[in-house]
Each structure stands twice: as C-alpha cells, then as structure tokens.
Structure 1
Amino acid sequence: MKLIVNGDDFGLTMGVSKGIIDAMKNGIMTDTTAMANMPYFEESMKMAKENGINEMGVHLNLTCGKPILSQNEVASLVTEDGNFYKKPNYMPKEIDMDELEKELRAQISKFISTGMELNHIDGHHHFYIFNESVFRLVLSLAREFNVPVRCPSSEYMHIVKKFNIKSPDIMIGDFYEGNANEDYLIKRLKELNSVDVVEVMAHPAIIDEELRNISSYLNYRTIELNALKSEAIKKFVKDNKIELIKFSQI
C-alpha cells in the first residue's frame, strides 16, 4: 500500500499550519493543501518553506472567508456581506460558472505566485462533489495544471478516469471527531490493505484564538495531531511496509 496522509486547511490560522508542519515532521503526515484566500496564507507559506516544504496542494475554497476577487466579480458566490456561504448546501443552486472559474483560477494563481510547487488539488468541504458541472470544472483545472485531484466520492471516480487524471484509489474521510484516533486509523488501514493508493484526510492543528473564532472543530484537531504522531501508528506503518508518499508520487 502507498499511503498519502494529507493535512487540510493549511493557512486557515497559524495554529493550523503549525500543527500540520508538526505532523509532517514528527508523524506520518506526508502532504497538505493550502487555503490561498485566507489571511494567514502568505505567512504560512513562508513558514512551510522555512521547514523544508517545497510542494503541496491548493485547498480550493468557496465556503470560508472572502474570495480573492472582488465581491462584484463573484456576486453569485458570496452573501450580501461579501463572504462565502459557510457550507456547500447553503450556496445558491444557480451559480455563475464564469465567476466560479475566475475565482478558482485566482486562488491557484495566488498559490503559484508564492513559488511553492503545486502537487494536487482538493476542495474545502468537498464543495465540488455537490454539482457535476463544478466537479468537471475542477477536473479541467487539474488537467490544465497537470496535477492529481482528490475524489471524495467513489460515485465520481469514473469521471476522474475519463479526464485521465491521477487520484488516490480511495480516501479515508472519516478520520474525524470520534474516529480521530490511532486505533480507528489502524483498523481502516487494515481493511484497505489490498488497495494500491489510499489517502487519509486529516485536520491536525495547534489550537489558537483565531481558530476558536472561526471553527467549531477544535479539540479533535489536537487529538488528530497526537494520533498522527503516535508511536503506535508509526510502528504499524513500518511493520506493514506501508509506503508513505506525496500526491506527486502517485
């Protein structure tokens, strides 16, 4: 088995970014995805480079904070106060696809402007699996930039294959809340031992005040961090000859 352990939300707050780097340096985390529209993005990217990280993905985002483009440019994507809708199901059913593409391109461009190598694309709150047209747009961007993409739903894997884009064979998306512990992760990896490439989606963090102000998912992030650094999970990976890889190695 080849295993990618990806830390979502890099740049959400400095505490999140520090937690992800800690999990990469001292645990089994192998990759991360950055939120280019968030206020701590630039500082987080600088910190990543200082810690020897030279590649990661972009965490395309339509459900947290403000867009990179102006409110007038992406009016169908934001509320009256100029913020993104907080959940994909809160978004209008009819969004302007041109506005959407411009905003996603702006986020990718801002990421690339940092000099960090883009190695994959995924989405905050999996926003792109709720609408096939949106998913196809994201896949077209992944193909254009020649990077893999996360496919959170097996129902969409046939579309990924049609686009000839690389993706993990399966994603463990429930390493979360009550399942955010090494015992559960080991159990899931045992169940999937015949799968070639597995991705674990994770959200480790060092809790800071900024995170408390914007997220309800708090203490479990610390539990995730500790689980990813635990001796038990590291021993399991070693004993079972699991190869830890980045998205660029798919």
Structure 2
Amino acid sequence: MRDHAGRRKGKEQVKLLVQSDDYGITRGTARGTIRAVQYGPVRNTGLFANMPWAEEVTEWIRPFFEHIAFGIDLNMVNGPSVLGYREAPALCHEDGTFLSIKENRQLDNAENGNDHIDSEQLYREFRAQIERFIAIAGRLPDYVHPHAYQTGKTEAVIRRLAEEYRIPYSMDFAKLPDAVMPSMGWYTFGTMEQQLQEDPLGYLLEDRTGYLKHEYGYLITHCGELDSDTLHLPFNICRLRDLEALTDPRLKRWIDHNRIELITFRDIRNQI
C-alpha cells in the first residue's frame, strides 16, 4: 500500500543498493570511493582489475571487505589490456592499451550490426580480468558489472562469465520484485563547467528516481577525488560532485528518515 505521496506504507523498508563504479580506474577514484564507504551509503564497488595499481588500491579497501560487496567492473575501454595486443589485437592498440569508447563506436556499422566486437577475444580478456581479481583479492568478485561501452555481444560475454563463475550479474537486479533500476539522471556528460552544475544531492533528496515507491532500489554513482589521472578522464568533476552528495549529512538524514535499508549484492545473490 502507498500513501497520498506515493510512498509505500507498512513496516517494510525500502532496500537500496548504493554502488560507486570504477574503483581503481585511477587512484583518486579509489580514494573517493573509500570515503563514500566510510562516510556515506556506498556498500558496493567494482575493481578495475586491469589497471597497474589494482593490487595497491585493493589493499586500501581490504579492511572494508566484511561490510561491502567488492565486485569487478569488466572494462574494455580504459587502460591496458590484461592479455595485451598479441592475444587480443581486436580490442587494443599495439602498445596494449584498449581502444577508447569513441574508437569502438567508430568500428560499429551496419555491416556488423553495429556490434563489431570479437566475442572470443573479449571473453578471454574479461576472464583474465576476473582471474587477476581473484589473484589480487584472494576471493571471487561479489558481482560483475559492465563498464561504459555495451553491446549485445559484450552483454552475452559478461553473462557467460557470470554463469561460469556463479557470480551475480549486476543488471539482474531488475529480476527482484518491485525493483527500480538506476537512472543517473543528474549527469550532464558535458564539460568540466557543465559537470560542476550537476546536482546529485538534490536529485536524490527529491527522490526523482522514485526509490521510496518501490521495495528495491538500485543507485549507481561514480565517486572520486580529483588527481591528475582523474582530471584526464572525460568523466571527472562529476566524481567529486557525487562524493560530495553521498557524504552530505542531509543524505544520511534522508536515508534515516525514510527507514531505508542499505544492501549489497551479497544480500540478494540468491534472488537474482
């Protein structure tokens, strides 16, 4: 049942899964995500296992393993390939760095169904990223999550690996009853100046996604502190804006006032 404002009545709590993507894409994003875990509602984050500093940033977050779901963001557009050019030439440049999102999109055309990906090379690369995660973290990822460039082929590869490793696939959150998926409607995907105008806190406090009207909600953010590597990403200032919003005391009061329960993928792994 719902009240006149559309909020759900009764004793059931809204169960909100708060995720901060891109852990370790830079050291700055790792530091920001940890702050959002310590002082905010983030309980889920995924490692960029292909990055040279993946082992370093995993040690930073290891003390929080019992309190969060530490997953993996399977990535084919940022940083170096784990396999390298010799084994995955369709995915990367000769120096081993991945093709960018723009470069991948330019390869998509009508002849290949707007999906040029070599599925077998991508499978081997993503599998190598999962194996590197296991070697670094000493455990399986708590979930797998896609990063940025997504097509039917990338989706199929991720699902194949999720099934093989018996790991939850983040997008299967939609299978939960009465679930609302992420909207990320506050992002401008624009210049630094435009990103400064983003208002994630207002978006959340006004509940523009409608979390309070559902039993399960999924919130994706991109928290980070700014360092030189982060500033070179197109998605940069917005990470600081997300971190500011998620660590703002007003958000904590909103969560407490609405009796929202913060959950992880470990809590729902048997339901999706």
Structure-2-length-normalised TM-score: 0.78
The alpha carbon displacement at 1:117 in A equals: 4.3
The alpha carbon displacement at 1:80 in A equals: 4.3
Task: Name structure 1 gaps, 5 residues minimum.
Answer: 152-156
1:205 to 224, 233, 236: 224
SS at match of 2:220: strand
Task: Name structure 2 gaps, 5 residues minimum.
Answer: 1-13, 109-114, 188-194
Tell me, in whole angstroms, the C-alpha distance in 2 between the residues paired with 1:169 and 1:244.
15
Superposition CA RMSD, Å: 2.4
The alpha carbon displacement at 1:11 in A equals: 1.0
1:105 to 115, 127, 136: 127
The alpha carbon displacement at 1:144 in A equals: 2.1
User: % of aligned pairs identical?
Assistant: 27
Cα 1:57–1:91 shift into 2, 3 Å: farther
Q: Check whether the contact 1:21–1:48 (CA below 8 A) recurs between aligned residues.
A: yes
Tell me, in whole angstroms, the C-alpha distance in 2 between the residues paired with 1:133 and 1:221.
28
SS at match of 1:66: coil
The alpha carbon displacement at 1:91 in A equals: 4.7
Query: Where does 1:84-95 land on structure 2 (aligned, <5 Å)?
Result: 84-87=98-101, 88-92=104-108, 93-95=115-117
Aligned residue in 2 for 1:240: 258
Deviations 1:114-160 (A, max 9, x none): 214411111211x33x2x23312211211222222222xxxxx79x8
Tell me, in whole angstroms, the C-alpha distance in 1 between the residues paired with 2:91 and 2:35.
34
Aligned residue in 2 for 1:193: 212
Q: Does the alignment pair 1:53 with 2:75? A: no
Cα 1:169–1:144 shift into 2, 3 Å: farther
Q: Which amino acid in 2 is paired with 1:108?
A: I
The alpha carbon displacement at 1:196 in A equals: 2.5
Q: Check whether the contact 1:56–1:116 (CA below 8 A) recurs between aligned residues.
A: no
Q: Does the alignment pair 1:171 with 2:185? A: no
Deviations 1:62-96 (A, max 9, x none): 11011100201111111344321211524554332
Deviations 1:158-206 (A, max 9, x none): 9x86xxx99x651233343444421111223662323222211111111
Tell me, in whole angstroms, the C-alpha distance in 1 between the residues paired with 2:208 and 2:163.
29
Tell me, in whole angstroms, the C-alpha distance in 2 between the residues paired with 1:10 and 1:107.
14
Cα 1:201–1:190 shift into 2, 3 Å: closer
Aligned residue in 2 for 1:154: none
How many matched pairs? 235
Q: Which amino acid in 2 is paired with 1:29?
A: V
Tell me, in whole angstroms, the C-alpha distance in 2 between the residues paired with 1:232 and 1:192.
17
Query: Where does 1:219-238 land on structure 2 (aligned, <5 Å)?
Result: 219-238=237-256
Kindly indicate which of the two structures has a greater share of residues assigned to helix: 1
Higher mean alpha-carbon deviation, 134-143 vs 17-26, is at 134-143
Q: Which amino acid in 1 is paired with 2:154?
A: V
SS at match of 2:242: helix
Q: Does the alignment pair 1:32 with 2:45? A: yes
Tell me, in whole angstroms, the C-alpha distance in 2 between the residues paired with 1:22 and 1:226.
10
Which protein shows a greater Rg? 2
Q: Check whether the contact 2:146–2:158 (CA below 8 A) recurs between aligned residues.
A: no
Q: Which amino acid in 1 is paired with 2:144?
A: I
Higher mean alpha-carbon deviation, 179-188 vs 105-114, is at 179-188
Structure-1-length-normalised TM-score: 0.85
Higher mean alpha-carbon deviation, 133-142 vs 174-183, is at 174-183
